[in-house]
């Protein structure tokens, strides 16, 4: 998906979600998904979806890829423009491989979130990624301190 398509889908999502009861929408760079945020008092639920349609790719397994995620964000503390959350949830994805192309993982960890403007927030996740299928492994997740590669942003309503 090129950048113009991402921006167009994000703007369409903003328009639709403003009337759907969402607290905000954004982009999750870690998972490559467009996300929506649902408010639960001080806590949130982030849901995301990603899609790749590439019929011209030489690898026929890469013609269609998709992912969906859901994360519960439990509010820990508020330090002015910095909010801290713990996250727990899961990711389901169909990947570009011929065999064992279904990936299911549990995510748990820490998510600091900075409010840059009144309605724009930036966060980075760090914690554990626990693949459940096709094989169980225990990994760390997140992008370290990299705001470029690990940045997740939301436009809050």
In which element (H, E) is residue 111 found? Answer: strand 102-117
At residue 112, the pLDDT reads 92
Are 18 and 157 in contact, with CB atoms under 8 Å apart? yes
**CA angle, corner 142, sides to 148 and 63, nearest 5?**
80
pLDDT of the residue at 35:
92
Q: Tokens representing 139? A: 């990994």
Question: Is the pLDDT assigned to residue 6 strictly greater than 90?
Answer: no
In tens, the pLDDT along 96-143 reads 777 788 899 999 999 999 999 888 999 988 888 888 888 887 766 655
> Domain residues of the chain, as ranges?
3-156
> Hey, which residues does 39 pair with through a beta bridge?
44
- Distance, CA of 21 to CA of 77 (rounded, Å): 25
User: CATH for 3-156?
Assistant: 2.40.160
CA distances to 80, 91, 116 from 87, rounded to whole Å, are 20, 13, 21
């Amino acid at each position: 998906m090129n950048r113009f398509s991402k921006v167009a889908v994000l703007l369409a999502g903003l328009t639709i979600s403003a009337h759907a009861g969402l607290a905000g929408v954004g982009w999750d760079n870690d998972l490559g998904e467009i996300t929506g945020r649902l408010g639960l008092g001080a806590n949130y639920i982030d849901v995301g979806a990603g899609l790749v349609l590439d019929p011209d790719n030489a690898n026929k397994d890469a013609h269609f890829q998709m992912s969906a995620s859901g994360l519960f964000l439990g509010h820990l503390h508020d330090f002015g423009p910095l909010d801290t959350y713990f996250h727990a949830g899961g990711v389901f994805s169909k990947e570009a491989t011929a065999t064992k192309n279904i990936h299911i993982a549990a995510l748990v960890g820490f998510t600091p979130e900075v409010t840059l403007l009144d309605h724009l927030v930036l966060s980075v996740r760090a914690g554990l990624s626990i693949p459940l299928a096709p094989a169980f492994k225990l990994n760390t997740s997140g992008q370290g301190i990299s705001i470029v590669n690990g940045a997740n942003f939301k436009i809050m309503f």
